[in-house]
Chain A
Amino acid sequence: MNEATPDPRAQDADDLEDLFENAPCGYASALPNGRISKVNRTLATWLGHTNEHLVGRRFLDLLNIAGKIYYETHFAPLLRMQGFFNEVALDLVRVDGTTLPVLVNAVVRRDEESEIRFIRITVFNASDRRRYEREMLEARRSAERATAALQDLNATLETRVADRVRALEQAWRLSPDLLAIADGQGTFLAVNAAWKVLLGWEVSDLVGQSFVGFTHPDDLEGTQAALGRIMTAPMVAPYEYRLKHADGTYRRFSWTGVFEGGQIYATGRNTTVEHEQAAALSRAEEALRQSQKLEAVGQLTGGVAHDFNNLLTIIRSSVDFLRRPDLPEERRARYMDAVSDTVDRAAKLTSQLLAFARRQALKPEVFDVGDRLRRIADMLNTVTGARIHVVTEISDMPCFVKADVSQFETALVNMAVNARDAMDGAGTLTLRLDDTGNLPPIRGHAAASGQFASISLTDTGAGIVPEQIDRIFEPFFTTKEVGKGTGLGLSQVFGFAKQSGGDVEVQSALGQGTTFTLYLPMIAAEASAQPAPVGDGEDFPIGDGQCVLVVEDNVEVGRFATQILEDIGYRTTWASNAEEALEKLGVDGSGFDAVFVDVVMPGMGGIELAKILQLRMPDLPLLLTSGYSHVLAQDGLDGLQLVHKPYSADQLGRMLGKLVPRRP
């Protein structure tokens, strides 16, 4: 026998041994008392134990606590009763404390006498299977949770819908605004309780009715148009109209709405109160303006009184001198001139006040600005004083405007005086005239197209601080000491510019100077046919005993007026009011050659009287006189002749001379 030839029986034994030890499943044998007698390497390796360590222990001892309990309560009894169990899922505990999911089969082997020889236990690694089971279990639980969640959702959805409906019902019921649902034709389908509160209508009065019957007839057309618009586009701005109250009156409501699903959903807010409040606010604002005006008058008194007192002082002292019988003729003439000049200045002051009030009756006439500026430049020289150099840059091109000449000159003087004070009496004043074309945007006002003449005065003074530049045109705004300025000069400039269809702009740089630019609308030269001015110095016609009815409520002025008229050759009769005048004139005014009427009188005013006389006795000449007149400023003279107060004997004589026919 060859030594190299292996013994076939030994080889079989080795093979079986290898199969037992290294099979892909665990094997264990246990004695009838449950203790392990033999275990293969695979099982020992899985558990991290040595074979020796496992032998003698109960299989039960290898299980986790749940496995122990179940083995004892379920599987051990099974094994006893039926001799086997198959595929029992258990967890074995490894030496390191981790668990190994396994499937266990067990079978009882008995001898010929039916006594138990041993229990054969087969263990399969069930890690994958257990994981799969866990996943399936988890999937089933997820499905159960999802189902439960879905049921919950259904339940909560119902609750939420119910809550929502309840909330909407509350909002519908409690809304202080009108709520309405209407069909596409404007027939109410549902309305809320606010209709009862705000308009006195019951729900049953409205549902099934068209909105037309509840709409103010004057608003119907607009409301139907608004209804048409809402069909095609959502309302972007509330629409307001009047709805009829059950008591027959109307209330204003501001509506918004939307057309959706064939129905109009609309809500209406009561704006009647808002309108009442707006009116009340407007009244309050008007009252405030009035009180501001009163305050302004108070301020004005302080400013103007000073100037007037100065002027009156000159007049008074001059008159005192004139009373002296031994006064030389040369000095008499000087005092007379002083009185006359002072009166002119006083008149200028009052005319400035009136320009500010914008209640002066402008006497617009067409003139060439360049021509006028050249003439006034000399006067500006005297206003500004010797230390200020006046430069004029005036083009030769004719530049015609239509404005009140005297106001124009006043404006220039006011600007020049302002410039003089800004330069503290020394510097250069540049007077320019340009044909600028369009009016630029000024103080937020839009630019205006058209031809404008720009007259600018540029000084080399201190400039205006930016905080004050917006206020300089305000009436009574002044940076000068109390009593030194009225704060009306630039306000007059502003008022004149606006009243003449132009504007005034100011540009200033601190320390470098200020430019005021007056814009006036230009007119074509050919429209500038100008009545020959009544020149000063020419003789005026003296009356020859014609009879003038003087209508004047003021005793002083009346006495003065009759005195002047008699001095210049007229006879006079004096009526102290319009009613008395009508009585004196009788039906045809016989015995009178003219009527001289003050415009502002208590009772019937001068204008009203003049209109009556124009109707009754159109041939009787009428001359009006006024310091200012609201009515004239607004309506113009309407063919009536006017002489401005204060007037001179010369002015009055000329006007009457033109009107009153000389006696044959």
Chain B
Amino acid sequence: MVFAHGFGCDQNMWRFVAPAFEDRYRTVLFDHIGAGGSDLSAYDAGKYASLDGYADDVVELCRALDVRGGIFIGHSVSAMIGVLASKKAPELFASLVLVCPSPRYLDDDGYVGGFSFQQIEELLDFLDTNHMGWSQTMAPAIMGNADRPELGDELINSFCRTDPDIAKRFARTTFLADNRADLAGVTARCLVLQSSEDVIAPREVGEYVHHHLPNSAFVLLDATGHCPNLSAPDVTIAAIEGFLREAGLE
């Protein structure tokens, strides 16, 4: 069982969910490039300009760990990274759990993504101008405590460390991506978990994903916000267990 975190955090995202499966599954948690304890020097702007670069990492990682017929649980943008990875290597995952997925954040002709182009522009612009304010929050290592990282971890933010430059590019890659066409042809069984009040991935988007996947289940969680795995871990765990049970995996 592979857990993939979304944009803005690291594997700590799963700290309330993953332990519930450790007794029955081999759980794998990892940080995407630029997040948590990843090797920042491995960053390649060209490779990670599209989600394919991140999906390739997932494939490489899972093959290295000899994952076959496994369960991929991806939050937010990692839901789509999982879709891409399963299409690249269908043998890796028998099931995909997509938590608050969105194949396209921008509204399009007849498609509701939740954001207008102007709003995404404003986001990207704000990322540039507010660089210092957020990097301070998200990257304690550059706050002058590089010699005492434990201090930064304790006093400022001990979770969700991200490299500000990579995060900025990741945001661009994420919010400008259009992976709607990739939903078709996914062979794994899929579960779409939709939060009831999510400004990032509204309900229409979750339903779109559900309808365009060949084989999927849809669960509307009793949870608010974009991170039900944090705000409502029990509900989330129950939904995943229900899905796995139906598949005879539980």
Does B associate with A?
yes
A interface list, Cβ under 8 A from B: 33-34, 60, 64-70, 72-78, 80-82, 85-91, 103, 126, 130, 133-134, 136-137
Given contacts A73-B6, A81-B230, contact A89 B134 (CB under 8 A): yes
How far apart sit A91 and B138, CA to CA, in the bound complex (Å)? 17
- On whether the beta carbons of A88 and B224 are closer than 8 Å, the reply is no
Query: Given B129, B133, B225, which contacts A72 in the complex, CB threshold below 8 Å?
Result: B225
14 further contact pairs, Cβ within 8 A, besides A75-B137, A137-B129, A137-B131:
A64-B126, A66-B125, A68-B199, A70-B8, A72-B198, A73-B76, A74-B8, A80-B230, A81-B159, A82-B157, A85-B157, A86-B156, A89-B137, A91-B130
- On whether the beta carbons of A81 and B15 are closer than 8 Å, the reply is yes
Q: Which residues of A contact B8 (CB under 8 A)?
A: 70, 72-74, 77
How far apart sit A87 and B155, CA to CA, in the bound complex (Å)? 12
Q: Which residues of B contact A80 (CB under 8 A)?
A: 227, 230-231
- On whether the beta carbons of A76 and B130 are closer than 8 Å, the reply is no
- On whether the beta carbons of B134 and A34 are closer than 8 Å, the reply is no
Query: Given B129, B175, B224, B227, which contacts A134 in the complex, CB threshold below 8 Å?
Result: B129
How far apart sit A384 and B159, CA to CA, in the bound complex (Å)? 134
Kindly state the interface size class of chain B when it binds its partner: 35 or more
Q: How far is the CB of A102 from chain B (nearest CB, A)?
A: 10
Query: Given B9, B125, B126, which contacts A73 in the complex, CB threshold below 8 Å?
Result: B9
Query: Given A65, A67, A73, which contacts B115 in the complex, CB threshold below 8 Å?
Result: A65
How far apart sit A341 and B133, CA to CA, in the bound complex (Å)? 129
Q: How far is the CB of B75 from chain A (nearest CB, A)?
A: 10
How far apart sit A74 and B129, CA to CA, in the bound complex (Å)? 17
How far apart sit A88 and B226, CA to CA, in the bound complex (Å)? 19
By beta carbon, the residue of chain B nearest A34 is: B224
* 14 A-B pairs with C-beta separation under 8 A: A65-B123, A70-B134, A72-B8, A72-B227, A73-B9, A76-B231, A77-B160, A78-B159, A82-B159, A86-B137, A86-B157, A89-B132, A89-B134, A133-B132
- Interface residue SS majority, chain A: helix
Q: Which residues of A contact B156 (CB under 8 A)?
A: 86
How far apart sit A70 and B138, CA to CA, in the bound complex (Å)? 11
Within 8 A of A (CB), among B126-170: 126-127, 129-134, 136-138, 156-160
Q: Does B7 contact A (CB under 8 A)?
A: yes
How far apart sit A88 and B160, CA to CA, in the bound complex (Å)? 14
- On whether the beta carbons of B132 and A137 are closer than 8 Å, the reply is yes
Q: How far is the CB of A295 from chain B (nearest CB, A)?
A: 91
Q: Does B12 contact A (CB under 8 A)?
A: yes
- On whether the beta carbons of B134 and A88 are closer than 8 Å, the reply is yes
Q: Does B200 contact A (CB under 8 A)?
A: yes
How far apart sit A90 and B115, CA to CA, in the bound complex (Å)? 19
Q: Which residues of B contact A67 (CB under 8 A)?
A: 126
Given contacts A34-B224, A66-B127, A86-B156, contact A77 B230 (CB under 8 A): yes
How far apart sit A134 and B126, CA to CA, in the bound complex (Å)? 11
How far apart sit A82 and B15, CA to CA, in the bound complex (Å)? 11
Q: Which residues of A contact B9 (CB under 8 A)?
A: 73-74, 77
Q: Which residues of B contact A130 (CB under 8 A)?
A: 133
Given contacts A72-B199, A81-B230, contact A91 B136 (CB under 8 A): no
How far apart sit A85 and B7, CA to CA, in the bound complex (Å)? 18
How far apart sit A2 and B229, CA to CA, in the bound complex (Å)? 60
Within 8 A of A (CB), among B12-53: 12-13, 15
Q: Which residues of B contact A65 (CB under 8 A)?
A: 115, 119, 122-123
How far apart sit A126 and B225, CA to CA, in the bound complex (Å)? 27
By beta carbon, the residue of chain B nearest A66 is: B126
By beta carbon, the residue of chain B nearest A130 is: B133
- On whether the beta carbons of B122 and A74 are closer than 8 Å, the reply is no
How far apart sit A130 and B133, CA to CA, in the bound complex (Å)? 8
Q: How far is the CB of A586 from chain B (nearest CB, A)?
A: 124
Q: Which residues of B contact A75 (CB under 8 A)?
A: 137
Within 8 A of A (CB), among B182-239: 198-200, 224-227, 230-231
How far apart sit A207 and B228, CA to CA, in the bound complex (Å)? 88
Q: Which residues of A contact B226 (CB under 8 A)?
A: 72-73, 76
Q: Which residues of B contact A81 (CB under 8 A)?
A: 12, 15, 159-160, 230
Q: How far is the CB of B200 from chain A (nearest CB, A)?
A: 5
How far apart sit A470 and B97, CA to CA, in the bound complex (Å)? 115
- On whether the beta carbons of A34 and B159 are closer than 8 Å, the reply is no
Given contacts A64-B126, A65-B123, A91-B126, contact A77 B134 (CB under 8 A): no
- On whether the beta carbons of A34 and B6 are closer than 8 Å, the reply is no
Query: Given A76, A77, A88, A134, which contacts B137 in the complex, CB threshold below 8 Å?
Result: A88
Q: Which residues of B contact A87 (CB under 8 A)?
A: 136-137
Q: How far is the CB of B216 from chain A (nearest CB, A)?
A: 24
By beta carbon, the residue of chain A nearest B118 is: A65
Q: Which residues of B contact A66 (CB under 8 A)?
A: 122-123, 125-127, 130
By beta carbon, the residue of chain A nearest B123 is: A66
Query: Quick one: which of A65, A67, A68, A136 has the most chain B CB within 10 A?
Result: A65
Shortest beta-carbon contacts, A-B, top 10 = A89-B133, A73-B8, A66-B126, A80-B230, A74-B8, A72-B226, A66-B123, A65-B119, A81-B159, A133-B132
Q: Which residues of A contact B127 (CB under 8 A)?
A: 66
Q: How far is the CB of A92 from chain B (nearest CB, A)?
A: 13
Q: Which residues of B contact A136 (CB under 8 A)?
A: 132
How far apart sit A77 and B76, CA to CA, in the bound complex (Å)? 13
How far apart sit A64 and B129, CA to CA, in the bound complex (Å)? 14
Q: How far is the CB of B27 from chain A (nearest CB, A)?
A: 18
Q: Which residues of B contact A88 (CB under 8 A)?
A: 133-134, 137
Given contacts A66-B127, A74-B137, contact A34 B225 (CB under 8 A): yes
How far apart sit A133 and B127, CA to CA, in the bound complex (Å)? 13
How far apart sit A74 and B15, CA to CA, in the bound complex (Å)? 15
Query: Given A64, A76, A137, which contacts B225 in the complex, CB threshold below 8 Å?
Result: A76
How far apart sit A137 and B156, CA to CA, in the bound complex (Å)? 23
How far apart sit A313 and B187, CA to CA, in the bound complex (Å)? 141
- On whether the beta carbons of B200 and A73 are closer than 8 Å, the reply is yes
How far apart sit A88 and B7, CA to CA, in the bound complex (Å)? 17
How far apart sit A67 and B8, CA to CA, in the bound complex (Å)? 12
Q: Which residues of A contact B198 (CB under 8 A)?
A: 72
Query: Quick one: which of A66, A69, A72, A81 has the most chain B CB within 10 A?
Result: A69
Q: How far is the CB of B161 from chain A (nearest CB, A)?
A: 11
Q: How far is the CB of B20 from chain A (nearest CB, A)?
A: 16
Q: How far is the CB of A620 from chain B (nearest CB, A)?
A: 123
How far apart sit A75 and B8, CA to CA, in the bound complex (Å)? 9
Q: How far is the CB of B131 from chain A (nearest CB, A)?
A: 6
- On whether the beta carbons of A77 and B122 are closer than 8 Å, the reply is no
Q: How far is the CB of B235 from chain A (nearest CB, A)?
A: 14
Query: Given A33, A76, A91, A126, which contacts B230 in the complex, CB threshold below 8 Å?
Result: A76
Within 8 A of A (CB), among B79-133: 115, 119, 122-123, 125-127, 129-133
Q: Which residues of A contact B6 (CB under 8 A)?
A: 73
Q: Which residues of A contact B133 (CB under 8 A)?
A: 88-90, 103, 126, 130, 133
Given contacts A89-B133, A89-B136, A133-B132, contact A77 B13 (CB under 8 A): yes
How far apart sit A402 and B208, CA to CA, in the bound complex (Å)? 130
Q: How far is the CB of A124 from chain B (nearest CB, A)?
A: 12
How far apart sit A134 and B119, CA to CA, in the bound complex (Å)? 21
Q: How far is the CB of B86 from chain A (nearest CB, A)?
A: 23
Query: Quick one: which of A64, A74, A85 has the most chain B CB within 10 A?
Result: A74
How far apart sit A74 and B168, CA to CA, in the bound complex (Å)? 13
Q: Which residues of B contact A133 (CB under 8 A)?
A: 132-133
How far apart sit A74 and B76, CA to CA, in the bound complex (Å)? 12
How far apart sit A77 and B228, CA to CA, in the bound complex (Å)? 10
Q: Which residues of B contact A137 (CB under 8 A)?
A: 129, 131-132
How far apart sit A3 and B125, CA to CA, in the bound complex (Å)? 62
How far apart sit A66 and B115, CA to CA, in the bound complex (Å)? 11
By beta carbon, the residue of chain A nearest B10 is: A77
- On whether the beta carbons of B123 and A78 are closer than 8 Å, the reply is no
Q: Which residues of B contact A77 (CB under 8 A)?
A: 8-9, 12-13, 159-160, 227, 230
